[in-house]
Structure 1
């Protein structure tokens, strides 16, 4: 079985437990924090995947690192991944869990590319307008500054792209002028 399929199974199991216990939002926050730790500290993953250390040493490390800062459900999932030597799927499992949780709550993530950083008010307005367009209750905005856009916005929500950037408008105009169409 591929690592993606295994990660999906663990994510589904944790999702069901978190939903039953009513801790979806808490679990998302905890898992996002763990993902940040894993991605910003390569030695963390190297330790967990190193065969020189025993399962007990790895479990103790997980316990001391996260106990008190994450729920028992999340901590138990981490311990199971250590026991089954599946720590390599931690980040894909977290991504799948977050996707399942957002889907259950009718939430979507949007990446908004803009020429300058957006204010919180602008992010809120974009979230309100585009949530309706994609049929979601809420949009979580991640702003990426890209000076090449010159102005306007380019918004990616899932596999949909809304491009209202000045750069794309100038590119379209250039194509029309080159081909001679209006």
Structure 2
């Protein structure tokens, strides 16, 4: 089974359990907590080594996870999910599980995520206008992540899934160059 399929199974199981009435947590809170834990795991070499090492007993890993869950204020469902993932030696897939969880949650909520690269930082008004325009084009509510790309001369480039909307000066120049060379 591929790592994507495994990550998808875990993400789906977490989303289904969190979505149950009376779980006490929202799906968005679980996502935030997964991101928090994943970030901590990636930033601490020692923690990464302890939790992923087959030489460390599972009981020790659970103690460490339990203490971290308490310190981070993780919901019981998220804590127990991390216990299961660790027990099945899938903690190395936590990043992929989090990404699949986010994709499944977005699908459930009818959201699309976009990655926006700009030549200069956008104002909040520009971000709102861009998200409204993208929502109109896609027919879905948008959540955008923004980054400044120093290689762009001006304008912006937006990636929604596998679709790229390139309104950058560089993109326009490349398009012009292709048209000119194909006509010559």
TM-score, structure 1 length as denominator? 0.90
Match of 2:181 in 1: 178
Aligned pair 1:132/2:136, yes or no? yes
Matches of 2:96 and 2:179, distance apart in 1: 43
Per-residue CA distance 1:99-122 (angstroms, 9 max, x = gap): 101110111211111111122222
Match of 2:53 in 1: 50
Unaligned 5+ residue runs, structure 1? none
Correspondent of 1:74 among 61, 71, 78: 78
Following superposition, the deviation at residue 56 of structure 1 comes to: 0.8
Match of 1:143 in 2: 146
Per-residue CA distance 1:73-131 (angstroms, 9 max, x = gap): 11000011122222222111111111101110111211111111122222111111102
Matches of 2:135 and 2:43, distance apart in 1: 31
Aligned pair 1:154/2:157, yes or no? yes
Matches of 1:62 and 1:87, distance apart in 2: 11
When the two structures are aligned, how many residues end up with a matched partner? 180
Unaligned 5+ residue runs, structure 2? none
Match of 1:120 in 2: 124
Structure 1 residues 1-10 or 162-171, which shifts more? 1-10
Following superposition, the deviation at residue 52 of structure 1 comes to: 2.2
TM-score, structure 2 length as denominator? 0.89
Matches of 2:169 and 2:35, distance apart in 1: 34
